[in-house]
Each structure stands twice: as structure tokens, then as C-alpha cells.
Amino acid sequence: MQKRKLGNSGLEVSAIGLGCMGLSFGYGPAVQRADGIALIRSAFEAGVTFFDTAECYGPFVNEELVGEAVAPFRDQIVIATKFGFQDGDSKQPVDSRPERIRAVAEASLKRLKTDRIDLFYQHRVDPNVPIEEVAGTVKDLIREGKVKHFGLSEAGAQTIRRAHAVQPVAALQSEYSLWWREPEQSVLPTLEALGIGFVPFSPLGKGFLTGAINAYTAFASNDFRNVVPRFSEENRKANAALVDLLGKIADAKGVTRAQIALAWLLAQKPWIVPIPGTTKLHRLKENVGAAAVALSADDMTAVESALRDIRIVGERYPAHMQQRIDR
């Protein structure tokens, strides 16, 4: 697979990474440990060198899974993990106090079975801790060799600039896809101006853009899409027009909807690296295959033109989660 550099940081990764959260957390029952390890190792064999996890995925068990899975090829890949929640639990308030950041770094290093974190993200901006203090703490960890690069997640343009002035930000991770394009307004121009890479999570709209989900799909009881407004039965029905459009474009190219959605992201900027997640080997192969799908300028114009007539319905998070998004 082709490689990409995340902005000016020099951090080089595969053009498509693997979001590992869903193996342990968020989308229904966790996979069997052996199956999760096998999938991560299959991703590496397919050319993926960028693996994304966080202490709160589980909590904690996803980091342990990733650490065990990548151990045979640790020095050939990039591991990204995150700090930012009280007690490592995303249901708890945000917590980016310096002592908490340091504690998370030490614990994550042990769970990941490694001596350095390649990319350490602040998972959500903490309004109670100045971002300069957060960046300064990670800067110290970088000086100590425990962290290689600093990242932010779901941060707004002003926060990104303030953090970058203290410690260069290698990458921003935020949701971005054909059905969530808000980052185009102010975040993407800021990243381009500062030379920061962009890592879109949920690049397939939490599975919706694959075409595998319709208005009648039933999610597992512990699947967080049950509480996402955009995934209500009514909204799924309304948003089917986007999936239908993707299907027409994909059929004309002889590829899948997911591959078009990922290729569209890759065609936006050379410093964008999406991290689709999956628990299925055939979906992994499909996603990796998107790196070979080239969309021309005419293709991109045609997609843009078709999208103008489609209105996406429903918020992407419930209200209590929306409040954690920095703007």
C-alpha cells in the first residue's frame, strides 16, 4: 500500500489505517481475543502500518489487544492511542490534567507492550485545562522519549493553533466523511496552513455508507448507534438517498460503496489518512483495496454535484456527547 505523511511531522503511515475500537467496544459484543489479533495481523500483511486505539476502548482491553497483536512487527508500524477521560472511561467527564496525562502514558506503554507511543492524542478537549498546559505536558513526554508525536481529536481551529504554538501537532483526528463534512469549514484550512495531518474516524459513517445498514437494521443492545440520532429508523430511511448515490458511482467504477467513500477522502488531500474499523476480514480487504481506487478531478466534480441535492438528516451524536466537541 502507498504511504502518506501526516503533514510536516515526518510521521509516515499507510494511506489507510485501522481503527481498532470496534474490536473491543462500541459496536456490539467484543470479538474473541484470538480473532481480534488475527484481524490486526491480517491488516499488517495487507500493508496497513497505522493502528488506532485508546485507553477508553473497553476500557483498557483494546490497548492490550493491539499491543499483543503488533508485538511481532512493532518496529514496522505506528501506534496511536489517546488520553483525556477520567479513569479512562468515556462515560466519565473529560480529564486532561498534566498528572492524568502522565499516568495514562505510563499505563498505555505497559498495555501496549512498547517503550514509546508513536502518536498521543488528546481524546477530547478539556475546557478546565488550558490547551497550552496539555501541549506542554506532551512536549515533556516527547523530550523523555515516551511519546513521539502529539495529536488532538475533535478540536476546533482556535484550539489547534494554540496547541501547535507550544508543541507541533502532528495530526488531528475527527469525524469526516461524505455524510459529515463540517471539518471543511475551518478545520481543514487550518491544518493545511499549519502543516498538520488529518485522520478521519468513522470515514464510512459508522458503517452506514457501506450499504449494509438500512431502516430496519437491528443493532446489538450495547451498540452505541442505538442512541445516535442519525441512526434512528426514520433518519436511516431519509439518509438512504446518499447510499443509493454511492451505489451508482461505485457500480460505474466496478468497486464498492465503501471504496468510493474512502477514495473520496484520499482524493481530498495527500495528508489525509482515514482509519476505517471492522471486525470482518472481507471488509478489511475491501477497505484496504480503496487505496488503489483513483478518483479523477471529473469524478470528484460529479460526486460534488450529485451531493448538492442530498440533505443528510440527524445529529451525529446525542446531546451529552455533542457538548464535548470543541468548536
Domains of the chain: 3-210+269-293 (3.20.20.100)
pLDDT (tens digit, 9 = 90+) per residue, 117-133? 999 999 999 999 999 99
pTM tops 0.75, yes or no: yes
Banded pLDDT at 302 (limits 50, 70, 90): confident
| Mean pLDDT, range 205-227, rounded to an integer | 95
Give the type of residue at 170.
A
pLDDT of residue 50: 99
> What is the reported pLDDT for 312?
94
If you average pLDDT over residues 321-327, what whole number do you get?
Answer: 82
Instruction: Identify the pLDDT of residue 95.
Output: 98
For the question of residue 121 being annotated catalytic, the response is no
Torsion of CA 308, 313, 316, 319, to 10 degrees: 140
Of 3-17, 136-150, 309-323, minimum mean pLDDT range = 309-323
Catalytic residue among 57, 121, 216, 317: 57
Model pLDDT, residue 28 = 92
More confident residue, 306 or 224: 224
* pLDDT for the residue numbered 326: 85
Q: Say what the pLDDT of residue 319 is.
A: 84
Q: Report pLDDT for 61.
A: 98
Is 272 a residue whose pLDDT tops 90?
yes
pLDDT band at residue 113 under the 50/70/90 scheme:
very high
The pLDDT of 223-245, averaged and rounded, is 95
Kindly tell me if the per-residue pLDDT of 327 is higher than 90. Answer: no
Return the pLDDT at 98: 98
Tens digits of per-residue pLDDT, 61-90? 999 999 999 999 999 999 999 999 999 999
pLDDT band at 323 (very low <50, low <70, confident <90, very high): confident
Strand partners of residue 169: 150
Residues present in the chain in total: 327
